[in-house]
A and B are shown apart, each in its own frame.
Chain A
Amino acid sequence: MSPPKGKTVSLFVTCIVDMMYPQTGMSVVTILERLGVNVVFPMAQTCCGQPAFNSGNRREAARVAKQFLRAFDGAEVIVTPSGSCAAMVRHEFPSLFAGDTLWGPRAERAASITWEFSEYLVDGLGITDLGGRLNAPRKVGLHDSCHGLRVLKLGGQARALIGEVENAELSEVPDCDNCCGFGGLFAVKMADVSGAMLQDKVKSITGSEADVVVTGDASCMTQINGGLARSGSAVRCVHLADLLAESLEGQEAPK
């Protein structure tokens, strides 16, 4: 992937962030703009097509993916606060349009300029220290979301970013690399199994010292927060961008 420094970022906020966690999208904007990055938001974007693709409905997935490609046609760099959506664009788009002379090259191009948020900061811009500081000391646990971890090989980036935040102490959550049980339609198609997996996740979080859990995927966030709330725990799962944005509130912007 070509270095994205100095290029305009087209933000892909993903459907879940758009509808459920718009604040996370704004956190990403805040952080990027503080770093002097020019951010645009292509209004024509919808979803990456992942729900249909993961269900095996590739024709439907391709239809949705085409809208993505149309929306991001002129983009220089695409950044998204979701590991699984980044993985979808980077790893599945090219095969979805393989052999298609019209859409194939556009899919290849989109794949080559798409970054997950923490990956863009650390590997793309080479930044780990944002100069952030939390108002009070917090023990920050992590949930490594599956696609980020195993498809994009992420994990170190988020830890590095949090490690530089003053008052944030990285706290080990056991089995932080275990799936939370979301898996898109899996959570409703096989609700009992998904529920059992979620209970495992909730147990390891509530059994740990973390008072907040950070993740890079809004879908895991939906699932884990749903489980934590149901269990009566006060711990919440937040997006990495939200924690970082919080740590920047009232801080001087870097020169």
Chain B
Amino acid sequence: MKIESNNFVDLASIAVRNTDQQTAVRRGTRNAYNNRQAAFTQFGYEHGQKLRMQAAAAKRRALKSLPDLLEEAEARMKENGITVLWAEDAAEARRHVQEIAARHQVKRIVKSKSMLSEEIALNGALEGAGLDVVETDLGEYIVQIGGEHPSHIVAPIIHKSKESIRDLMVEKLGMPFTDNSGEMVAFARQRLRPIYLDADMGISGGNFIIAETGTVTLVTNEGNGRLCTSAPRVHVALVGIEKMVETVEDYALLTQVLPRAGTGQHMAVYTSMINGPRRTDEPDGPEAVYVVLVDNGRSKVYATKYAEVLSCVRCGSCQNACPVYRSTGGGAYGWVYGGPIGAVLTPLYVGLENAEPLPYASSLCGACKQVCPVDIDLPRMLLDLRHDMTVRGHGSKLYGFGLWAWSITQRTAWSYRLTAWAARVGQKIMGRWHPGPIGAWAKYRDLPTFAPKTFRQLWAERGK
């Protein structure tokens, strides 16, 4: 996926004018947000908080011993009969998948939703190699036939209205016209069923890898994940190296907070725990299972003050809570991950210079931190990223200069008073002429007026 994050301001301005998309995103995020609140307070606020803190602790602990856990997980997975491959970057990860496909003479691939495969631009590479690739998550399927990109971690087509999805299905799949979403789902399902049976290889992501048992776990709500990982001959799981958890107990904890945070469910509808290929006494399952452990920038982040962000379980909760995401939709963020998590991850993964506006795409309201099931301090990281930006000379020079000039006026009481006076006089002189930032302000709001006397003047007069 082409990185367009430097265009955030323009893309966002277009997005806020797209009323259909606005309605769809607002409805979707609000529902998910409300459900999340209900799920986390089901047994009282305190219980929900405790659950979050325990989950956060499990994830932080895993992060601390990540190198060891990766080794342990690799050893256990190998014992279980899984072939483990490592990929340092996107290109190596794509190459691995292509080679596996070639080795097993694969023609058709079914995929279960995986943001990581989006991150490494896998579909294009596989199609380029002459393979037939079909997304099976309903949302991803729509995204694929529409030639778009997912706009949300959990709900890829949160930005689309039912009508626009219907029109797309009528046009691209020849679906009979209907307004009934049940019929739409049934149609897609009927389309997908034979494709599973026909596929040689299934590709999935992985929500967690349990190091002590070498188990890849996967949650979905449509059951498509299960079909992708068990119906075809070969299963490939693409998993980021940060997805390790130490024990089954830790997993049990995390599997409670992930669906609660994402959709407000107490459990996902389908949970798969994959321990390896089909054994001789088992009736079904793939003949070969591969796990590709992908770095692609993660270890680079691991070595910095931003390491905590690798605890992210990709629940999308911060996106649902974020008023900026709600107003713009995920597409405006210009890469795979939108919303607060994207504003932090994207600059770290693709380079600050390629995502300059993203750390500033926040009013720092803190709603994202409040809902994050593993308590990632996203606002703190946005502030740190802004600092890094200015230190490294990225970001707006104009604002940097303005703030420097401003800081000088605030460094003594007399220069402050002079500025306050000049601002008041300036406002009088300028009248209805609103240059630059003042114009930007005046676009949506009436300008505040400076009071005829400052507080310090009132205070001084009072003393008389």
Contact = CB atoms under 8 A, between A and B. Distances in A.
A125 interface: no
B328 A60 contact: no
Contacts of B395: 56
A197 B451 contact: no
B155 to A, nearest CB: 20
A166 interface: no
Contacts of B13: 192-193
B454 A41 contact: no
A183 B423 CA distance: 21
B390 A55 contact: yes
Contacts of A147: 364, 366
A198 B395 CA distance: 25
B361 interface: yes
Nearest to A47: B410
Contact of B407 (A44, A54, A63, A181): A63
A56 B388 contact: yes
Contacts of B433: none
Interface residues of B, number: 67
A123 B297 CA distance: 46
B403 A60 contact: yes
Contact of B455 (A13, A58, A179): A13
A22 B424 CA distance: 13
A191 B441 contact: yes
A247 interface: no
B85 interface: no
**Size class of the A contact interface (CB-based, 8 Å):** 35 or more
Contact of B406 (A51, A179, A227): A51
Interface string A57-87: 1101101101100010000000000000000
A18 B406 CA distance: 16
A66 B410 CA distance: 10
Contacts of B460: 43
B366 to A, nearest CB: 4
Contacts of A63: 407-408, 410-411
Contacts of A25: 455, 458-459
Contact of A186 (B362, B366, B445, B453): B362
A57 B363 contact: no
B444 A199 contact: yes
A171 B407 CA distance: 40
Interface string A142-170: 00001101110000000000000000000
Given A18-B456, A55-B403, A146 B12 contact: no
A43 B417 CA distance: 10
Contacts of A71: 413
Given A56-B389, A187-B441, A45 B413 contact: yes
Interface stretch (A126-134, A207-215, A218-226): A218-226
Contact of A194 (B363, B366, B407, B412): B363
Given A20-B450, A20-B451, A196-B16, A188 B410 contact: no
B344 to A, nearest CB: 14
Contact of A58 (B327, B366, B387, B450): B387
Contact of B328 (A22, A150, A193): A193
Given A60-B403, A200-B326, 5 more contacts: A22-B458, A29-B459, A57-B404, A193-B12, A197-B323
> Top 4 A-B pairs ranked by shortest CB distance?
A226-B445, A183-B363, A56-B386, A195-B444
Interface of A: 13, 15, 17-23, 25-26, 29, 41, 43-47, 49, 51-58, 60-61, 63-64, 66-67, 71, 146-147, 149-151, 178-179, 181-200, 222-223, 225-227, 229-230
14 contacts: A25-B459, A55-B399, A56-B391, A63-B407, A63-B411, A146-B364, A147-B364, A149-B366, A178-B367, A179-B323, A183-B362, A186-B364, A189-B9, A225-B448
